Amino acid sequence: MAARTMQAARCPTDELSLTNCAVVSEKDLQSGQHVTVKTTPNHKFVFTVKTHHTVSPGSIAFSLPQRKWAGLSIGQEVEVANYNFDKSKQCIGAMTIEIDFLQKKSTDSSPYDSDKMAAEFIQQFNNQAFSVTQQLVFSFCDKLFGLMVKDIEAMDASILRGETASGKKQKIDIGLMVGNSQVIFEKAESSSLTLVGKAKTKEARQTIINPEWNFEKMGIGGLDKEFSSIFRRAFASRVFPPDIVEQMGCKHVKGIMLFGPPGCGKTLMARQIGKMLNAREPKVVNGPEILNKYVGESEANIRKLFADAEEEQKRLGANSGLHIIIFDELDAICKQRGTGASSTGVHDTVVNQLLSKIDGVEQLNNILVIGMTNRPDLIDDALMRPGRFEVKMEISLPDEKGRVQILTIHTNKMRSFNLLAPDVEIKELAAETKNYSGAELEGLVRAAQSTAMNRHIKATSTVEVDMERAEKLQVTRSDFMGSLNNDIKPAFGTNQEDYSNYIMNGIIKWGDPVTHVLDDGELLIQQTKNSDRTPLVAVLLEGPPHCGKTALAAKIAEDSQFPFIKICSPDKMIGYSEIAKCQAIKKVFDDACKSQLSCVVVDDIERLLDYVPIGPRFSNLVLQALLVLLKRAPPKGRKLLIIGTTSRKDVLQEMEMLDAFSTTIHIPNISTGEQLVDALELLGSFTDKERANIAHQLKGKRVWIGIKKLLVLIEMSLQMDQEYRVTKFLSLLRDEGADRSFYE
């Protein structure tokens, strides 16, 4: 037919509106023909036509979606001409259609089978013309859907010839629907429609983890392994295609608990998580902010946090985005229920509210709650079960590689502006900063910077900066080393002042017994470091009072060079109740478990136990705590050396405490005159002549005195005039022996 002018009209019936055909009179055209409708000189649209007796000749009727798509108005004159499809090039191979409910009020959350939908579509619209961007209405399961053609691929010509597919894909603007065309449905953006089956697009899901994230750029170092583990557990199911997750019956992880020592990066991770994830902005809540003085307000604050997620889940169902809620200092609001001293029980109801929101009867599937605490022991058990805070991850002290990363992050800016001296070696600093947390490493860099700045401040009556020299400011290795030795000490490290006080006078090797003890100590250190079978090594140094047990224990601890060394001493627990003493001892052992290699010296065990022979009296509570802690193996991958000291081996034997130690080493007193003279020579307190006199007096005699007591007697004698010093020393030695039958 030659092109002719026709008038646009309204579609006569609703049934015809659903056919996607333009409707004409039988006198003008035949059903099944394809025509082009030219609305303006530059706009042409292709339609398939149907005939109906109610349409007057010279009119062409369109449904509302068709008029909308082609920009037609009723009564508009259009140019209509025949259109013939080139079946070798214009048959539809695959067509992608965007689908949504036609009317928003008729939405429902029941799933629609896309495979059945596709079969129905091909049946309804077989042999019809379709164009990209075309809009139409589709009836399926008594529901009306609004469709829009997004994309059309031509069928491979080799398939039409009955050959195997060549694999070439060609996009076309207009195509003809045939029986073996493939129809793929894609849910419209923000639609609440749920599609199941294979004839739907793999939704272009926004990947949850930002592809450009990098811990070093974000200022998080040394935690790569922990965060990979978190993302593996918490985000894998959310990144995976939802069809497969649905088929597996897999539920998403809803909660992650991060715990570990202070300053190791838990809160820093919370600050950066928004940049790391492509989800909506996380809600960061400080635990104490939840609590409110008014009744019911604390619980309402918890409900408000989850309100957005609940509303979106009701509206969009499975297509809801991920809502992240981060609780910092979770232990402030989620303490064990029933332990609160207050009569109101606010903490308990807050915990109950949080439990029901995360995984209650009306559970949400579009949330991820991240809790952070350095006191996981305080958190209510019900929160820690799978389904709530399921992933528990310890953010522990960084290892050497992690410390290199952290120091690099904090010195990057200085390096880029040439303010870091070439002699600063990050690897050397990382090796020196064992047991430093991330916050302490940052503090170390700050301390070094302030030391460097201080050099350029003029010490005049006013504080002035020497501008000439300030421009050449550089932070040097000596600044870092000075800060390392004087300013920043690790909370979980070795307190050198602690053990250096015990070996103030050095170790006096007055004979073989002392050498043997130190050799055995070296063996125990090597065993702790190297043996995988014995991660816990406990040794008891026992001997008479004043024989130098504590000094030897401190020396062995110092020689170990372990990153964590703590002395658990009775002098730090004066006035403690039994329970407080147990908690203090437990804290030392708990802290030791946070380091890779640790040494704990339990000094003067009988004093810790409050033992006195009159009665006899001792603290059973502390005894039981020590028995448990001495036998408790450290966590996997951690090693612990325990050195105990006691003057009452017989008492520990009765208390069945000796069994808790792997081995017992006896520390003897000085027992012969020769050993005593050797000790005097090493101490260098008396002159050669005086020592010869003392040696003559003690020749062939047995003595029994501890090295510590000997030091006191020597220092006392040295206060006398020169000619009386030896006499006074021998007299004191004799008195010591007379009192205790030590001197023969």
Q: Which entry of 50, 335, 549, 649 is annotated as an active-site residue? A: 549
Catalytic (active site) residue 708 = yes
Plot region of 119 (φ>0 → left; ψ -120 to 50 → alpha; else → beta): alpha
Query: What is the spatial distance between Cα 93 and Cα 152, in angstroms, rounded to a whole number?
Result: 8
Distance between CA atoms of 388 and 92, rounded to whole angstroms?
A: 49
Measured in whole angstroms, the distance separating CA 680 from the mean position of its chain's CA atoms is 58
Task: Spell out a b/e string for 342-378, using b for 16 or more CB atoms within 10 Å of the CB, else e.
Answer: eeeebbbbbbbbbbbbbbeeeebebbbbbbbbbebee
Give exposure, 136-145, as e/b (b: 16+ Cβ within 10 Å). Answer: bbbeeeebeb
283 among known catalytic residues:
no
CA 646, CA 546: separation in Å to the nearest integer?
11
Q: What count of other Cβ atoms lies within 10 Å of the Cβ of residue 728?
A: 16
Instruction: Bin 188: left if φ > 0, else alpha if -120 < ψ < 50, else beta.
Output: beta
Half-sphere exposure (CA, 13 Å, Cβ side) for 472? Answer: 4
CA distances from 204 to 187, 377, 509 (A): 10, 42, 76
* Beta bridge mates, 135: 148
Relative orientation angle of helices 688-698 and 673-683, to the nearest 10 degrees: 170
Give 684-706 as a DSSP string: T-S-HHHHHHHHHHHTT-EEEE-
One of 100, 479, 604, 678 is an active-site residue; which one?
Answer: 604
Distance CA 465, CA 285 (A): 42
Distance between CA atoms of 633 and 531, rounded to whole angstroms?
Answer: 14
**Neighbouring residues of 384: CB distance < 8 A, sequence distance ≥ 6:** 257, 392
Q: 555, 603, 645, 678: which is the annotated catalytic residue?
A: 603
Q: How many CB atoms lie within 10 A of CB 179?
A: 8
Q: Say how far apart CA 427 and CA 408 lie, in whole Å.
A: 10
Per the CB < 8 A criterion, the answer to whether 597 and 562 are in contact is: yes
CA 419 to CA 416: how far, in whole Å? 8
18, amino acid identity:
L
Amino acid at 209: I
Separation of alpha carbons 621 and 573, rounded Å: 15
User: Which candidate in 251, 392, 708, 728 is catalytic?
Assistant: 708
Question: Does 603 participate in catalysis according to the annotation?
Answer: yes
- Quote the CA–CA distance of 257 and 208 in Å, as a whole number: 19
* Joined tokens for residue 126: 């077989």
**How far is CA 434 from each of CA 19, 128, 367, 492, rounded to the nearest angstrom?**
76, 75, 38, 9
**H/E run at residue 38:** strand 34-40
39 DSSP assignment? E
Please tell me which residue in 550, 591, 594, 709 is annotated as part of the active site. Answer: 550
**CA-based diameter of the chain, in Å?**
147
Does residue 563 have a cis bond before it (omega within 30 degrees)? no
Q: Which two tokens stand for residue 178?
A: 């045939």
Catalytic-role residue among 169, 304, 631, 701: 631
DSSP alpha helix (H) spans, 144-255: 157-160, 215-218, 224-234, 236-239, 242-248
Burial class (CB in 10 A: 0-12, 13-18, 19+), 27: exposed
Other CB atoms within 10 A of residue 127 CB = 12
Residue with tokens 């104490």: 288
Q: 599 in helix, strand or coil?
A: strand
Which helix (H) or strand (E) segment holds residue 430: the answer is: helix 426-432
Give me the active site residues, please.
549-550, 603-604, 631, 708
